[in-house]
Chains A and B, each alone.
Chain A
């Protein structure tokens, strides 16, 4: 059986977990797969914002656990992408409201009805993280190419292994080719070597990302977005397709274009 339930986690906060979760889920739904994205960040929900669904939430995951409604009823249907559903986190409860066994029960009750499920983990390595990972077949660890994020990614990797999960796949987010070229940012090979994980995606730094989130419009829906393409590639790799990694060199950057224009190297 192919993995269909993935937990997206990182240890450190702010590295782009929710953005990546929302985008990969959208990319797979665009291809016709039935996908549910579960926000496991109880009390600090954000996946609804990435998908632009914050005004459509009626029930959340805690209502499901309390028995107020069945899981299907709490699912929010995406308005832009057919086949995509969100199971929102509760905003007014705390992480203890969802236990690992609750997450497992919800995922198992939905498993047969969906092709893919993505669980957006809270930051940290405490119970909320463990609950998010508990129900997953596979783990996607997101890191930025910087020290604190890499160190934390290594911690969650160790914890996932201790929980008996298969070795996580690595997503390097916010890679800036200009900084790499300057020698001030670790490149993907460095990060892979340090963490010893198999790579499943490289997402370049994209200044437009904040605008996509402002609009609740995932980058994968934008044809011209480089980050969007990188995220669609991750979705394809999850489908087992052999997609080569995008060549990210600083020559595409604004600065180098500018330099070229004025005859610099």
Chain B
């Protein structure tokens, strides 16, 4: 096994694991306000197996993005149990959580969040450089992804020179370039028109078929059909 900092993580770990990739038990999240505690997630119990494509749906304020943030290990102020590949996330320190995130998780935002001052190629390179991968390896990976996503011709353009669909395409490419096992997507087609949205969803489907576990948050019933399972949230509770 090679350390994560020199090469992207291997993809065979989850397959060797018989337990679900993600196990949530009685997970709760609340904010303390002057009026008392305001719960945004209540008693969430959820298992997600490696290779699944899950859709989280629910009205605004239901806690969808908060749940996604917790699954991505960006948020650690919650109660309950969260096992990620058998790692008890609650008991991990900030650095270990960051390591798990860095090695296994990719994220696609509704607003794309490409870095405006970097070209397409540089945007793709950024997650790799944060993983201390050698430049030669990074260049090879970026070239591979550019080719795979059919955006070689756009590599020197800045995000502002791309359409919304192209930007989201680059954002997805950026999210998967470090070969994450889990791809989290928050309203990935929310800012795209229908055709562009469909392309992205087809891409997700393909990635899922290649082995990437995907959890998406969406309001779109159409997008939800790409997944295998829908988790519905309402006022922080998971609907049975």
A and B pair up = no
- Listed in ascending order, the chain B residues whose CB lies under 8 Å from chain A are none
